[in-house]
Amino acid sequence: MARRLIVRFGLAAVAVFGVVVLTFILQYVIPGDPAKLLAPRAPSAAVLQSIRDQLHLDRPMLLQFAYYLGGLLHGNLGQSYVQREPVTTLIAQRLPATGMLALAGVVCEMVLGTTLGILAALKPSVRRVMYGVNLLLLSTTYFVLGLVLLLVFGFRLGIAPVTGGEGLPQLVLPAITLGLIGLPWYAQIVQDAMRDALSSSYVRTAMAKGLSERRIVMGHVIRNVLSPVVTMTGLDLGAYLSGVVIVETVFGWPGMGKLAVDSMSNLDRPVVMGTVLVGTIAVVFFNILADFVRWYIDPRTRIEPA
């Protein structure tokens, strides 16, 4: 188990390092002179030069990378060009909002998706309806659905707030948007897993033991269904984070995603880099977490790969 942990973390570290290199290289290709952007109005040549020195902008690339890495390891992601604040501060300010939204969205999609998947597996009428619902939801995307919901519930029906903000009422529509887009994936996985489980030999054995239906579903079926759900969550994360970014932008939810998009238009390079990095680390981290949850739930995955 310890060995597995180390291997997993090792692989994750490699992936993150790769992204670090990538973001560093990309910095070079993004237009804009950092010195000019950071400098106060009408800078003199001397000021510009001193900024260049501070940022080591005149040094060879490899050395700059070394400084960059060093900075990262100290938790320094650089300074925003636009807001005169360290990138880490900016991100840290926005992270809780994104976390809250992401959590709310995951709860929505998992609860809705799993429940509907279970019902669809047990009742044919639900299954037919779910086919249509899934078809519709799979064919749309975050910003489209978000705007439609905003139009209907915000502007037409007036029951949802239409301006941005961080409160609970503002959380509802974006979380539901995230939940609805993710719903069909969970519903499908759960339905398939339920179907497999219900027709399996071990459920027949459980029946042969004279167990009640409730005990069979709760004790035998559900546990077998959870494993693929967790796998799904793990794989879903990268796409999910993207969804969060777009949903934040559409609804004006002040999270990390919105920060990234705004910084993009402002050519605020360090912030964009910082958010990409933090995003990647989050995805990697939650992936590992999902792995270990699944390890706990499904003993078959505990066998070390050959």
Partner 1 sequence: MSAVLSIEDVWVRYGDLAAVRSANLEVQPGQVAALIGETGCGKSSLALATARLLPANARITGRIAIDGQDIVPMSREELQTVRGIKVGFVTQDAMAALNPVLPVRRQIGEMFEAHRGRNRHDAEELAVEALRSVQIHDPEGVARLYPHQLSGGMRQRVMIAMALALSPPLIVADEPTTALDVSTQAEILRLVAALRHELGTSILWITHDMGVVAELADIVAVMYAGRIVEQGTAEQVFDAPRHPYTEALLRTLRDLRGGERGGHMYQVPGQPPSLDSAITGCPFHPRCERASQVCTDIDPRPEVSDGVRVACHHPKLPVPEGASG
Partner 2 sequence: MTGSGSERGGAIRRFPPSLLVGLGLLGLVLAFALAAPLFGNPTNQDLTHGLSPSGLPLGLGSPGYLLGSDPLGRSELPRLAYGARVSLTVAVVSNITSLLVGATVGIVAGFYGGIVEQALMRFTDMGLSLPTTLTALVIAAVLPGGMLRVLIIITALFWAYPARLIYGEILRLRHRAFVEAAEAAGASGPTIMRKHLLPHLSPLMITYFPLNAVSAVLFEAGISFLGAGVNPPTPSWGNMISDGESAISYAPHLLVEPALCILVTTMAFVLIGEGLKVMNPDLARVSWLGA
Site of tokens 């949903």: 247
Q: Pick from partner 1, partner 2, none: which does 62 bind, CB < 5 to 8 A by kind?
A: none
Q: Which residues, including other chains, have CB under 8 Å from residue 181's CB and lie 6 or more apart?
A: 109, 137, 140, 141, 142, 145, 243
Q: What 3-state DSSP class applies to 79?
A: strand
The encoded tokens of residue 221 equal 């079926």
Q: In whole angstroms, how close is the CB of 229 to partner 1 at the nearest point?
A: 13
Q: Is residue 269 part of the contact set for partner 1 (CB under 8 A)? A: no
Which of the choices partner 2, partner 1, none does residue 56 contact, using the CB cut-off of 5 to 8 A by kind?
Answer: none
Q: Contacting partner 1 (CB under 8 A), which of 211, 264, 267, 281? A: 211
Q: Count CA atoms closer than 13 A to 180's CA, side-chain side.
A: 21
Contact of 178 with 105, CB cutoff 8 Å = yes
Residue 30's identity, in one-letter code, is: I
What part of residues 226-265 is at the interface with partner 1 (CB under 8 A)? 227
Q: Which of 231, 201, 237, 243 is nearest to 294 (CA)?
A: 231
266 binds partner 1 (CB under 8 A): no
Task: Give the span between the Cα atoms of 183 and 185, in whole angstroms.
Answer: 6
CA distance 256 to 245: 7
Applying CB under 8 A, the span of 33-41, 124-132, 218-226, 252-260 interacting with partner 1 comes to: 218-226
Query: Quick one: which H or E segment has residue 167?
Result: none
Residues of the shown chain interacting with partner 2 in the complex, contacts defined by CB under 8 A: 11, 14-16, 18-19, 22-23, 26, 29-31, 120, 127, 130-131, 134-136, 138-144, 147-148, 150-151, 155, 162, 184-185, 187-188, 191-192, 195, 238-239, 241-242, 245-246, 249, 257, 260-261, 264-265, 267, 272-273, 275-276, 279-280, 283-284, 287
| Closest to partner 2 by CB, 65 or 143 | 143
* Biggest distance spanned by C-alpha atoms of the chain: 87
**From candidates 136, 204, 218, 235, binder to partner 1 by CB under 8 A:** 204
- Rounded least distance, CB 199 to partner 1, Å: 9
Nearer to partner 2, 50 or 141 (CB): 141
Are the C-beta atoms of 98 and 256 separated by less than 8 Å? yes
The yes or no reply on residue 218 touching partner 1 (CB under 8 A) is no
Stretch that binds partner 1, among 33-41, 169-177, 232-240, 298-306 (CB under 8 A): 298-306
Binding-site partner at residue 160 among partner 2, partner 1, none, CB < 5 to 8 Å by type: none
